[in-house]
Amino acid sequence: MTIHFYSLMIGLGLSILTVIGCLAMLLGWFFYLGSKLRHSRKVDEQVDDVRLTRPQAWGEPDLTPPSTSAAARAEVAELEALWTVPPHRASTGTD
């Protein structure tokens, strides 16, 4: 059984076309993502103070000192006591 020259060349040609096609798809994908990234950077530069992650979007911080009233101290003591309690396990319903 011999390998014919034409069948060998067809197989080699198809494999080269497959490699070229895969490389073209990868390059197209990278160029597409690059253009999307460039576009998103331009949009971010155009939009001001819309994102909630910017400090300006949250307004001014509350700079008043914490209350030192008896009710506030009792609430703080209650919260600190809750933080020291070990976590409890969820009940399974068979208790």
Residue 76, number of CB atoms within 10 A of its CB: 13
Chain mean pLDDT for the chain: 79
Mean pLDDT for the stretch of residues 25-54: 74
Instruction: Convert the pLDDT of each residue in 15-37 to its tens digit.
Output: 999 999 999 999 999 999 888 88
C-alpha–C-alpha distance, residues 60 and 41, integer Å = 28
pLDDT tops 90 at residue 87: no
Structural contact between residues 57 and 49, judged by C-beta atoms closer than 8 angstroms: yes
Share of the chain above pLDDT 70, in %: 67
C-alpha–C-alpha distance, residues 79 and 9, integer Å = 79
- Residues 6 or more apart whose CB falls under 8 angstroms from that of 70 comprise none
The pLDDT of residue 49: 47
